[in-house]
Amino acid sequence: MALLKDKDREQLQKEFAQLQNSVKLVFFTQALDCEYCPMTQQVLEEVVGLSDKIQLQTHNFAIDKEQVAAYKIARVPAVAVVRVEPVLILAGGKAATRERDYGIRYYGVPAGFEFAALVGDIMDVSRGESGLSASSKTALAQLKEPLHLQVFTTPT
Amino acid sequence: MAMESELVTADAVDASEYPELADYYQVYGVPLTVANSKVRVEGGMPEPMFIGQILKGVSGMTQKT
């Protein structure tokens, strides 16, 4: 059974039609001892099914240690939202791409408020524009030390 | 915020799915934002206030150490 309602799917398809750059959802899961991994996978599969600009890449948290380290994943289920940007257009119209990882992660099923946040992040990451005010951008640009934010939410 | 600085990483964490983590950070209400495992910002608020509280909190930490 689909998690997204038909009405929501239509709305999301309209929103995703504005996507310019592709976005990749890098999903970390594991087969055992992960109650919420299957539902997260289903949410993500439904989302990527709504736009050819959204890709899904799945890794096994227990096995793909290199990717777990590369994306600095702490637990499962986890989703990294990364931008796929073209670096040059090759002959024949194909583009060589590179990944831009802004450091955005979701831990847990992206449902409720977190689903809305995920959709917002997909749009922002695709645009490469955070939507923050000029003064916020200036303040953040002056950071000298790493800043790790953990935003705790509940689905409802 | 993570998009604006390469030094910033941002996790959205479902508190109900990770009770141990929620216990560790004593999450009693949501949203709760924890910066560098120390600075706590509770609730939602306008962007300038939110970013101001976080940056002030973490810069205070750096000076102390």
| ipTM exceeding 0.85, yes/no | yes
Total-model pTM: 0.94
Q: Specify burial of residue B42 (Cβ count, 10 A radius: 0-12, 13-18, 19+).
A: middle
Residues of A in contact with B35 (CB under 8 A): 147-150
Q: What is the DSSP string of A8-37?
A: HHHHHHHHHTT--SEEEEEEEE-SSS-TTH
Answer whether residue B63 shows pLDDT above 60: no
Give contacts of B11 with chain A, Cβ < 8 Å.
74, 105-107, 148-151
Nearest neighbour of B7 by CB, restricted to A105, A136, A143: A143
Query: Is residue B65 less than 8 Å (CB to CB) from chain A?
Result: no
Which of these, A42, A39, A106, lies nearest to A73 by C-alpha position? Answer: A106
Q: Can you tell me the distance from the alpha carbon of A40 to that of A113, in angstroms, rounded to the nearest whole number?
A: 14
- Average pLDDT of the segment spanning A70-75: 98
Q: What is the pLDDT of residues A110-131, one digit of tens each?
A: 998 899 999 999 999 999 999 9
Residue B62: band (very low, low, confident or very high) from pLDDT cuts 50, 70, 90: low
Q: Which of A102, A147, A152 sits opposite B13 (nearest CB)?
A: A152
